[in-house]
Amino acid sequence: MAVMEIRKAGDKILKELAVPVDKIDRKIRNLLNDMAETMYAADGVGLAAPQVGVSRRLVVIDVGDGLIELINPVIVAKEGCESGTEGCLSVPGMCGEVERYATVTVEAINRSGKKIQINGSGLLARALQHEIDHLDGILFIELAKTMRKG
């Protein structure tokens, strides 16, 4: 496992639509391992593959309840609305108020190729939406109502 360089706002890969994963092999599993190690080393709660320079639809999240690895995640249900403060490892030193769905259901594939479903509310819902946005080339700073150093 290795800690990877986290790409910063302004890097063109962060604005691209990430490519779906069609085959889960050792390379993809190793990338998930490296992404998790990178996220933990940076004290983050989520990381998407484009943030480490790989245009693939992969996300790792840990909001304190253990590691979640998602391959080709898609939000399939959403409800409610709440505003909250977000930051991003690709936008260091800044945070902003972002309105998100209060609860979401995400379908994805795990590292074994099994279809999984994650239901999230609170911080997990926010992290899921934030990381999936990265896969679509969207940074939280584009959605924030207000920004501040943080």
Query: pLDDT at position 106, please?
Result: 98
The count of C-alpha atoms lying within 13 angstroms of the C-alpha of 13, restricted to the half-sphere facing its C-beta, is: 15
| CA angle 104–106–108, rounded 5-degree value | 170
- Over the stretch 84-115, which tens digit does the pLDDT of each residue have? 999 999 999 999 999 999 999 999 999 999 99
Return d(Cα 96, Cα 142) in angstroms, integer.
10
The model's confidence at residue 1, banded by pLDDT at 50, 70 and 90, is: confident
- Over the stretch 18-38, which tens digit does the pLDDT of each residue have? 999 999 999 999 999 999 999
130 is in an annotated binding site: yes
Superfamily name and number for 12-149? Peptide deformylase (3.90.45.10)
**Residue 117: is its pLDDT beyond 90?**
yes
**Mean pLDDT throughout 114-121?**
98
Let me know: does 47 contact 131? Beta carbons within 8 Å. Answer: yes
Pairing assessment for the beta strands 82-87 and 68-79 based on DSSP bridges: unpaired
Share above pLDDT 90 across residues of the chain, in percent, rounded to a whole number: 99
Mean pLDDT taken over the chain: 97
Q: 84: which residues sit within 8 A by CB, 6+ positions away?
A: 97, 98, 100, 126
- What does the domain layout of the chain look like in residue ranges? 12-149
Query: pLDDT at position 150, please?
Result: 81
Residues carrying an active site annotation: 131
81 is in an annotated binding site: no
